[in-house]
């Protein structure tokens, strides 16, 4: 296979925030872990002279001749602290490539791609072309980090495509430094998608595992982490991470003496979680996590980011003695329930059944899986049609 028809499968996990969402935006500690559910990206280099961006999860299929994807101004102008601050002229050019794309979720996905494309692009022959197709087994916009997982895949694809990092980065002795590079650009894409991200989600999706994170500092792998049985419930109530994060910020501005102590309490919940894992006693850990889950949810409720659907999940699970909190931005989206080892399978099934009767989707998935990964595909193997049609188990078996 030549360099020009190289095909690569990239994947990155979603994440679940155990403790500290929202507070982490304001420099409080958060604890999160990667999920078994992932986003997959198929990258094909070809000689069509065109760039195709195929994002079926958000109903996008755009193709541009690469000769037309060129900026009128020096691309150094893209080098700002936040992508929102790029010159108006570039924003207008991005708009002109957007076609009929009008929905906010679609626009942000395409804009994050265009932004990274221009930041990372290097000179290539006129015939150079490529197709990017993505498919996620994560629910999109539900609090499980689909945007960071997507951002990590796009960042990796463009870094590999333009030869900033080698395809075998996961086997390289410079792996850590390559992952840092992927993470830096994934964060930029996250900024395009949801405004003021803390950087927690992209760190989990890129590095995988379980970690604690404070904005502006390097994440710390969670000492003594043991995978937990979690039940994730997607209420399917749509919400905007942007708006919810901005709402908490506005409350903090207006009622600093009320909100700051809440954020400090959440910080202490995350600290306590780290200590509980470190101490290693499984019995105590289960009890503490349940308490912390309950308290963290109530504090998030006070910040105004719960929703009646999430409260309903709490009521249903509580009937079985199972503790639940919202996870991610809240306002709908997903809840996480801690399933203690002494809760039997029949009970868990019954809880899941009751939740399904309300129209919610339940996921049982492992925590702490591998971070972003890329493999070169052979001539005979999987193409993008396969990617778009494969079932979840088949996809997961190729994630490595
Ligand atoms: N598979 C995907 N394909 C294209 N865009 C995606 C995909 N997953 C996520 N996104 C982008 O991320 C946005 C969802 O981000 P967000 O609201 O933060 O939800 P989540 O909690 O799932 O990360 C989508 O509206 C879309 O712009
Ligand atoms: C609310 C927040 O803490 C997590 C948002 O997670 P999600 O986008 O709902 O998956 C924001 C952030 O950390 O950037």
Could you list the pLDDT tens digit for every one of the 400 residues in the chain? 455 578 999 999 999 999 999 999 999 999 999 998 999 999 999 999 999 999 999 999 999 999 999 998 888 899 888 998 999 999 999 999 988 878 988 999 999 999 999 999 999 999 999 999 999 999 999 999 999 999 999 999 999 999 999 999 999 999 999 999 999 999 999 999 988 899 999 999 999 999 999 999 999 999 999 878 899 999 999 999 999 999 999 999 999 999 999 999 999 999 999 999 998 777 778 899 999 999 999 999 999 999 999 999 999 999 999 999 999 999 999 999 999 888 889 999 999 999 999 999 999 877 888 999 999 887 656 666 777 777 766 666 655 4
| Ligand 1 centre distance from Cα of residue 144 (Å) | 9
Please indicate whether residue 201 is annotated as part of the active site: yes
- 3-219+367-397: CATH topology is Ribosomal Protein S5; domain 2 (3.30.230)
Task: Give pLDDT tens digits for 124-172.
Answer: 999 999 999 999 999 999 999 999 999 999 999 999 999 999 999 999 9
Please indicate whether residue 147 is annotated as part of the active site: yes
Among all bound ligands, the one having the nearest atom to the CA of 239 is 1
Does ligand 1 lie within 6 Å of residue 136's CB atom? Answer: yes
Catalytic site residue from 34, 133, 146, 147: 147
| Ligand 2 centre distance from Cα of residue 395 (Å) | 25
Domain ranges of the chain: 3-219+367-397, 227-363
- 227-363: CATH topology is Alpha-Beta Plaits (3.30.70)
Q: Is the ipTM of this complex over 0.85?
A: yes
Residue 396 has a pLDDT of 65
Residue 400 has a pLDDT of 42
Does ligand 1 lie within 6 Å of residue 39's CB atom? Answer: yes
Residue 398 has a pLDDT of 59
Q: Write out the chain in H/E/C secondary structure.
A: CCHHHCEEEEEEEEEEEEECCCHHHHCCCEEEEEEEEEEEEEEEEECCCEEEEEEHHHCEEEEEECCCCCCCCCHHHHCCCCHHHCCHHHHHHHHHCCCCCCCHHHHHHHHHHHHHHHHHCCCCCCCCEEEEEEEECCCCCCCCCHHHHHHHHHHHHHHHHCCCCCCCHHHCCCHHHHHHHHHHHHHHHHHHHHCCCCCHHHHHHHHECEEEECCCCCCEECCCCCCCCEEEEECCCCCCHHHHHHHHHHHHHHCHHHHHHHHHHHHHHHHHHHHHHHHCCHHHHHHHHHHHHHHHHHHHHHCCCCCHHHHHHHHHHHCCCCEEEEECCCCCCEEEEECCCCCCHHHHHHHHHHHHHCCCEEECCCECCECCEEEECCCCCCCHHHHHHCCHHHHHHCCC
The residues lining ligand 2, judged by C-beta closer than 6 Å to any ligand atom, are 21-22, 24-25, 143, 145, 147, 197-198, 200-201, 241, 245, 328-329
């Amino acid at each position: 296979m030549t360099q020009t028809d190289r095909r690569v499968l990239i994947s990155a996990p979603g994440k679940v925030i155990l403790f500290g969402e929202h507070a982490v935006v304001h420099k409080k500690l958060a604890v999160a872990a990667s999920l078994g559910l992932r986003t997959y990206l198929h990258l094909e280099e070809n000689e069509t002279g065109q760039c195709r961006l195929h994002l079926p999860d958000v109903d996008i299929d755009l193709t541009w001749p690469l000769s037309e994807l060129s900026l009128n101004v020096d691309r150094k102008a893209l080098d700002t602290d936040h992508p929102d601050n790029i010159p108006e002229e570039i924003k207008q050019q991005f708009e002109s490539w957007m076609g009929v794309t009008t929905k906010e979720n679609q626009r942000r996905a395409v804009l994050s791609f265009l932004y990274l494309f221009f930041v990372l692009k290097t000179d290539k022959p006129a015939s150079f072309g490529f197709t990017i197709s993505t498919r996620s087994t994560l629910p999109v916009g539900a609090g499980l980090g689909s945007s960071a997982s997507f951002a990590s895949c796009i960042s990796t694809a463009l870094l590999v495509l333009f030869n900033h990092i080698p395809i075998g980065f996961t086997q390289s002795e410079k792996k850590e430094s390559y992952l840092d590079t992927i993470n830096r650009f994934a964060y930029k894409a996250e900024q395009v998608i949801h405004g003021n991200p803390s950087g927690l989600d992209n760190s989990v999706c890129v590095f995988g595992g379980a970690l604690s994170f404070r904005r502006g500092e390097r994440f710390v792998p969670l000492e003594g982490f043991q995978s937990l049985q979690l039940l994730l419930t997607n209420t399917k109530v749509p919400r905007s991470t942007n708006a919810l994060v901005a709402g908490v910020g506005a409350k903090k501005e207006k009622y600093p003496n009320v909100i700051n102590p809440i954020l400090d309490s959440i910080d202490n919940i995350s600290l306590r979680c780290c200590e509980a894992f470190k101490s290693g006693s499984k019995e105590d850990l289960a009890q503490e996590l349940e308490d912390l889950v309950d308290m963290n949810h109530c504090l998030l409720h006070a910040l105004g980011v719960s929703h009646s659907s999430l409260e309903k999940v709490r009521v249903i699970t509580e009937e079985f003695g199972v503790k639940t909190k919202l996870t991610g931005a809240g306002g709908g989206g997903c809840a996480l329930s801690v399933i203690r080892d002494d809760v039997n399978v029949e009970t868990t099934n019954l809880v899941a059944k009751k939740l399904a009767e309300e129209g919610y989707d339940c996921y049982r998935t492992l925590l702490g899986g591998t971070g972003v990964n890329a493999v070169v595909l052979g001539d005979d193997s999987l193409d993008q049609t396969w990617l778009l049609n494969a079932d979840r188990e088949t996809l997961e078996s190729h994630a490595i």
